[in-house]
Amino acid sequence: MLIYVLLLILSYLAYKWIIRNNDYFEGKGIPYAKAMFLMGSNNIFSTRRSLPEVVMNWHKTFKNDKVSGFFEFMKPIYIVRDPQLIKQLTVKDFDSFSDHRVFITEDIDVLFGKALISLKGQKWKDMRSTLSPAFTGMKMRLMFDFVATVGKQTASTLRQKIIQGGDKNFEFKELATKFTVDNIASCAFGINVNSFENPDNDFHEIATEFLNFTKFSNVLKFVGFISVPSLMKLFDIKFFSNKLVNFFHEATIETMKVREQKGIVRHDMINLLIQAKKGKLVHDDNKEEIADGFATVEEFENEKSSAKRKWDDLDLVAQCFIFFLAGFDTVATAMTFMAYELVVNQDIQQKLFEEISQVEEELGGKLLTYEKLQTMKYMDQVVSEALRKWPPAPVTDRICTRDYIVKYDDKSFVIEKGMNFMIPIWGIHNDPRYFPNPEKFDPERFSDENKKNIQDSTYLPFGSGNRNCIGSRFALMEMKTVFYYLLLNFKLAVTEKTKIPLELKKIPVGIKIEDGVWVGLEPR
């Protein structure tokens, strides 16, 4: 009898512990989605929805409230959707919200844990200051020939295969992934791999492992890192394989050693990391302004200060790792959405082709240049609108690093240290209050005449504030270049396999398109 009483008491105490935060938002007067026992509310893991659909639901459920709440399992999390408040928390009061939430720490996975996106506090500030000069417009200009060469090679290889009788229908995400892998292999490591001719190369195999991120086993790992990180650490469960870790270590460190021993200078990421390790990577003195595109993130003054911290080899390997991870799949996803819109909006594709043809005529057959790329206003409008309608990062977050009093309207409450909030980028980008008729793909939103009407902090394809995406210029350069060469050589057409409208897969991590986006490449 005593055992049953003890079990009853323990069960009651466990239940009370599990629901201890259920009235968290109520005590602050903030509207919230009530939690289901253990599963939370609107949880990406407890609903059969795609991640963008979940984020859209977060945004819509309390669309007239500047701040609301939900529960991720047992953890209360804020949703901040008001543009002015987003700017207040991520820019003006950045020091109180300077960190991202990190699931995979350095002691669990050294590469992911040391990568810029995972770092916190002063170490993040130092690394951001160290790397910031590597992603300026001037550095992109120096690197651009590699990108243009890969873009031209991609189109040429595809054209040759089609003319020789090969299939002219492609799943575009697969095509875009090969381009971005080849591009990063060239721009980061100085290696020409041509995944269209040699799909079994090491870089493409590593990319394939990354793309398995949404496998059920990896999703379970991800849930484990979110909910019971100490248990994952106890059993020494790694997210990325030793093969992958060793690949990046060897590719980065060995290349750096060879370059230094032989005095090889190539204006790519390895060269920039060599400079960073020596403390010689600094912002350019050249004050010439380069218009990199509407979506390019703002550079903040604190990024221009020189960090004095000494970085070891693994610190640098981790940056190459995250450059590869973020630079190939996210950009390939953005390209795929843009290709879909060009297929279903032939008038927009034709107008873009006419601009490309004009630039090609001005170049007289020479390789595309960074300066010419930036003169293409309509290209920038189309890319900007693709990133508006289909942001490849549907949500971003911040952690409160010290107790912070939030004040707006007649409300005032404290966000405690350690609590975090999310910004529903997908919801904001598709909110008719900020972008009328959001379902329509309309590049004219970003024309010189109209873009000034876009409200501050409502367009966030690369995040917000100091912790925005450091590689926005590189991503835009990749997207524009591949479409320049593809549209110069091919008309993108509907095929029997093209699914209109497209449908997103019901997976809790990442973005995948059901049945892919099939595009016909018709040689011009």
- Cβ neighbours of residue 496 closer than 8 Å, sequence gap 6 or more: none
The predicted structure's pLDDT at residue 26 = 84
Query: Helix count (H) and strand count (E) of the chain?
Result: 19, 9
Q: Are 315 and 307 in contact (CB under 8 A)?
A: no
Which region among 115-119, 208-212, 517-521 has the lowest average model confidence (pLDDT)? 208-212
Rounded CA separation 448/430 (Å): 21
Residue 7 domain-assigned (yes or no): no
Q: Are 380 and 294 in contact (CB under 8 A)?
A: yes
The predicted structure's pLDDT at residue 282 = 73
Token pair of 223, please? 């849930």
Rounded CA separation 185/144 (Å): 14
As annotated, the binding site includes 469
Residue 4 domain-assigned (yes or no): no
Of the pLDDT bands very low, low, confident and very high (cuts 50, 70, 90), residue 443 is very high
The predicted structure's pLDDT at residue 497 = 93
Domain extent at residue 140: 22-523
Rounded CA separation 154/324 (Å): 19
Distances (CA, A) of 385 to 146, 337, 379, 422, 476: 26, 10, 10, 23, 12
**Total tally of structural domains belonging to the chain:** 1
Reduced to 3 states (helix: H, G, I; strand: E, B; else coil), residue 301 is: helix
pLDDT 10s digits, 150-180 = 999 999 999 988 888 878 999 999 999 889 8
Q: Choose among 348, 383, 387, 334: nearest CA to 176.
A: 334
As annotated, the binding site for heme includes 469
Residue 483 domain-assigned (yes or no): yes
The kind and range of the H/E element at 18 are helix 2-18
The kind and range of the H/E element at 353 are helix 346-363
pLDDT (mean) for 50-62: 90
Residue 287 domain-assigned (yes or no): yes
Token pair of 522, please? 């018709």
Beta bridge partners of 68: 79
Beta bridge partners of 164: none
Residue 148 has pLDDT above 60, yes or no: yes
pLDDT (mean) for 45-53: 76
Q: Are 114 and 318 in contact (CB under 8 A)?
A: yes
Residue 10 domain-assigned (yes or no): no
The CATH number that applies at residue 380 is 1.10.630.10
Residue 327 has pLDDT above 80, yes or no: no
Q: Choose among 480, 484, 481, 491: nearest CA to 347.
A: 491
Q: Buried b vs exposed e over 298-313: b needs ≥16 C-beta within 10 Å?
A: ebeeebeeebeeebee
Residue 75 domain-assigned (yes or no): yes
Rounded CA separation 290/495 (Å): 39
Residue 11 has pLDDT above 80, yes or no: no
Q: Are 329 and 393 in contact (CB under 8 A)?
A: no
Which region among 293-302, 320-329, 470-479, 507-516 has the lowest average model confidence (pLDDT)? 293-302
Rounded CA separation 245/242 (Å): 5
**Backbone torsions φ then ψ of 55, nearest 5 degrees:** -65, -40
Q: Choose among 347, 207, 290, 351: nearest CA to 476.
A: 290
The kind and range of the H/E element at 79 are strand 75-80
More confident residue, 291 or 65: 65
Burial level of 7, CB count in 10 A (0-12/13-18/19+)?
exposed
Residue 357 domain-assigned (yes or no): yes
pLDDT 10s digits, 175-209 = 998 898 888 888 888 878 778 887 777 777 777 76
**Judging by DSSP bridges, how do beta strands 518-523 and 490-493 pair with one another?**
antiparallel
More confident residue, 145 or 23: 145
- Strands of the sheet containing 169-171, edge to edge, are 169-171, 518-523, 490-493
- What share of the chain has pLDDT > 90, as a percent? 45
Residue 287 has pLDDT above 60, yes or no: no
The predicted structure's pLDDT at residue 151 = 92
More confident residue, 154 or 4: 154
The kind and range of the H/E element at 76 are strand 75-80
Q: Are 28 and 413 in contact (CB under 8 A)?
A: yes
Helix 242-262 and helix 172-189, axial crossing angle in degrees, nearest 10: 40
Task: Give the single-character DSSP code of 491.
Answer: E
Rounded CA separation 481/458 (Å): 26
pLDDT 10s digits, 208-263 = 766 665 566 666 776 677 667 777 777 677 777 777 778 888 888 888 888 888 78
Of the pLDDT bands very low, low, confident and very high (cuts 50, 70, 90), residue 42 is low
Which region among 62-66, 250-254, 455-459 has the lowest average model confidence (pLDDT)? 250-254
pLDDT (mean) for 77-93: 95
Residue 250 domain-assigned (yes or no): yes
